[in-house]
């Protein structure tokens, strides 16, 4: 779905559900991570998280749009559009919008490089994300000298032994 299609969808939802026109802009914002959408008080525009459509479908997208339109119409009528107000809660229930957006799926952790060090005396292994200065650092268990063993590729830090 493009921004133009989103704009048309928001305009039709506003007219059908609220009986009022939507006269500003609605766009997708890929930078939104933990929220379904945003109503901007300064310019009255709506920003929608595109992952609501790609991960959860069009019904969730419509629910998020109705939620943001509740903020929009209440604010333009001079009322408080905050979540805790009774006016917001009743309007949201009337139009059937979502109170909370579903949590976006977490991406799988990407494998990264871990530097492996081993103590020459006790055999303790250490894994670090960055290289360390072996002239300054010693083993935390026995104060022995550390030796760099190589690079390990793993999604999470391997367990130190």
Q: Is 116 helix (H, G, I), strand (E, B) or coil?
A: strand
Cα distance between residue 71 and residue 64, in whole Å: 11
CB 132 within 8 A of CB 116: no
Task: Give the residue-averaged pLDDT of 28-45.
Answer: 94
- Confidence bin at 155 (pLDDT 50/70/90): confident
Q: Is 47 a catalytic residue?
A: no
User: How many Cβ atoms sit within 10 Å of the Cβ of residue 93?
Assistant: 11
Q: Which two tokens stand for residue 6?
A: 């989103």
Check: pTM over 0.75? Answer yes or no: no
Cα distance between residue 134 and residue 62, in whole Å: 57
Cα distance between residue 161 and residue 159, in whole Å: 6
Find the catalytic residue in 5, 11, 47, 68: 68
Tens digit of pLDDT for each residue in 61-99?
A: 999 999 999 999 999 999 998 999 999 999 999 999 999
């Amino acid at each position: 779905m493009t921004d133009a299609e989103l704009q048309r969808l928001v305009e039709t939802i506003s007219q059908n559900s609220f009986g009022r026109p939507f006269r500003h802009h609605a766009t997708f914002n890929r930078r939104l991570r933990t929220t379904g959408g945003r109503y901007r008080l300064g310019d009255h525009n709506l920003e929608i998280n595109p992952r609501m459509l790609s991960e959860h479908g069009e019904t969730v997208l419509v629910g998020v749009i109705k939620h943001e339109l509740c903020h929009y119409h209440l604010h333009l009528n001079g009322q408080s559009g905050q979540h805790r107000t009774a006016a917001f809660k009743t309007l949201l229930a009337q139009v059937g919008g979502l109170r909370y957006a579903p949590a976006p799926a977490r991406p799988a952790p990407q494998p990264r490089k871990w530097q492996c060090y081993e103590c020459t005396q006790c055999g303790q292994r250490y894994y670090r994300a960055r290289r360390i200065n072996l002239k300054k650092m010693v083993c935390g268990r026995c104060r022995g000298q550390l030796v760099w063993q190589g690079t390990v590729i793993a999604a999470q830090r391997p367990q130190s032994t």
